[in-house]
Structure 1
C-alpha cells in the first residue's frame, strides 16, 4: 500500500504500475447534506426517507458522485497526490451506499506514459467486500517538484 509522499505528491518518475492507495470514508447525514448543497442535487432518494422508502432502494441512499469523490481525494492527496490534474474519468455504479457505510476508495496505477506525463488509474470503491463502483481515470502528473519557498 502506497502512502502519501513526504512532498505531498509523487512526480511522474516515481510512479510505477501496481502502486495502490486507499482511503476509508464514513457516509454520514452531514456529508450527504453538504454534498447536496455543493452539487445542488436534492433528489429525494438522497434526502427524504419517506420518499426513498417507496423506491426500489427501500430507503435513502447516498449520491453516487459523493462516493466517487472519495477517489478524487485519493488522487489529489495520496496517489499521485498534489499536482495531479484529472483529464477524464469513467464510472460504473454497482450497489447503493447508505448512511453509516464506510466507503473505501482504492486507486491503482494501471499505466504510466512518460512522453505525455499521463497516468491511467483504476478506481474502485468498496463497502466491506462489495464493490460499489469502479472506473478508470486519466490524470496528468508533474515531472518535477516545485522549488521550496524561502
Structure 2
C-alpha cells in the first residue's frame, strides 16, 4: 500500500485496445535532475557542469537519458496499462540531446495486445519545443493480473 491507501489495479489485458494513446508534457527542472543524480550517484559532469559541457559538442549540460526513460516507464505504471504493470522490455533511441529546462511532449500508443501472453506493446515518442523527436521506441509490459 502507498501511504496507507489501497491502490486500484490498472486495466487487464482484455480491456486494452490497439490504438489507445496518451499524451503528456514534462518540463525538466533542476530539482528533477538533482534528485536523479543524488539517487543514482551518477557524477557525470556532462549533466550538471556548464564549464565542462561547454568543452563538448553538446555545449551545455544535458538531461540524462535514463531520466527520459523514467518518465516513459512511469507513464506505463500510471496509465497504460496502469498500476500493477510489469515492464518486460524496452527499446529506446535517443535521437537528440535534451537540455535543462526543456519541455518534452510524450506520446504513448498501444500497438499490440497479446491476450494469451498477457502482454502489450506501447510505441513511445518524445518531441521537444522545436518539434524535434528526441526519443522514440517501444516498451513491452505485462498488465496486472489478479489472483483468482
**Fold equivalence (TM over 0.5):** yes
Per-residue deviation at 1:73?
1.5
Alignment size in residue pairs: 141
State the match for 1:87 in structure 2: 88
Shift of 1:29: 1.3
Q: In structure 2, list runs of 5 or more residues that go unmatched.
A: 1-7
The 1-side partners of 2:127 and 2:35 are apart by: 22
Deviation at 1:143, TM superposition (A): 4.5
Contact 1:74 1:105 in 2 (8 A): no
Q: CA RMSD in A?
A: 1.8
Unaligned stretches of 5+ in structure 1?
A: 1-6
| Secondary structure of the corresponding residue to residue 87 of structure 1 | strand
Instruction: Please report how far the alpha carbon of residue 13 of structure 1 lies from its aligned counterpart in structure 2 after TM superposition.
Output: 1.3
Per-residue deviation at 1:104?
2.1
C-alpha offsets along residues 69-118 of structure 1, whole Å, 9 cap, x if unaligned?
Answer: 11111101011111110001111101111111112222110100010101
Which 4+ runs in 1 deviate beyond 6 A?
none
Cα deviation code 1:58-79 (max 9, x no counterpart): 1111101111211111101011
Alpha-carbon deviation of 1:23?
2.0
- TM-score if structure 2 supplies the norm length? 0.88
